[in-house]
Copies of this chain bind each other. A is one copy, B any other.
């Protein structure tokens, strides 16, 4: 694949969306689609779609459009979904348990291999056949097992400490659900899910629309 360098974060963030829409088209037995039709579905312009996909290679054919299955497979490979990723969950509270139980992630190659928590009441319990281990075992676990992704679901005050431990032991991918911005070395990738910030954005926009409505009365 002729993948170009320096692809903007904006394009990268749109790739999973393409992946999702193409999956939907496949489910509905759609064989091919034009950039215009795909754009209408996703809410992008046809030219944006062509530009985005051109960053990654030469897809589509003038007058024919895209072969849905091919494009889906190519984007899956670009996203790295043709491999498997070993993930450990740190913190077996609400979010940690939800992630552990969410079967959808298995489809994209995330294999949860261990779950850790500091709460003795949770240690020993099982989620989907995985026994929750004492977080004190994390260091030795990481020394003995190769882990790609650490999923941080511990409380805010412990998140950086847990992140440091992961990084020291060679974990280079962190999916962070704790409401902090982690400090990590450059070769480590952090993707944040800040639920509270998402909720705050919703509340802001909700009020903003209400105010506009009041004013236009």
Contact = CB atoms under 8 A, between A and B. Distances in A.
Interface of A: 12-13, 15-17, 19-20, 42-43, 78-81, 83, 85, 94-95, 97-99, 101-102, 104-105, 108-110, 148-149, 172-173, 175, 179, 181, 187, 189, 191, 193-207, 209-210, 213
Contacts of A19: 200
A16 B200 contact: yes
Most buried by B among A148, A173, A195, A200: A200
A148 B199 CA distance: 12
Contact of A179 (B20, B42, B95, B149): B20
A213 B85 CA distance: 18
* Interface residues of chain A: helix, strand, loop or mixed (majority): helix
B209 A189 contact: yes
Contacts of A13: 197, 201
Contacts of A110: 199, 203
A97 B98 CA distance: 8
B175 A202 contact: yes
A205 B189 CA distance: 7
Contacts of A206: 80, 85, 148-149, 172-173, 189
B191 A105 contact: no
Contacts of A109: 203
A204 B78 contact: yes
A209 B187 CA distance: 7
A197 B16 CA distance: 5
A108 B196 contact: yes
Nearest to A85: B203
B12 A204 contact: yes
A102 B173 CA distance: 25
Q: Lowest 10 CB-CB distances: which A-B pairs, in order?
A: A16-B197, A191-B202, A16-B200, A94-B98, A80-B207, A98-B98, A173-B206, A94-B101, A189-B205, A80-B203
A207 B12 CA distance: 12
A198 B195 CA distance: 12
A193 B19 CA distance: 16
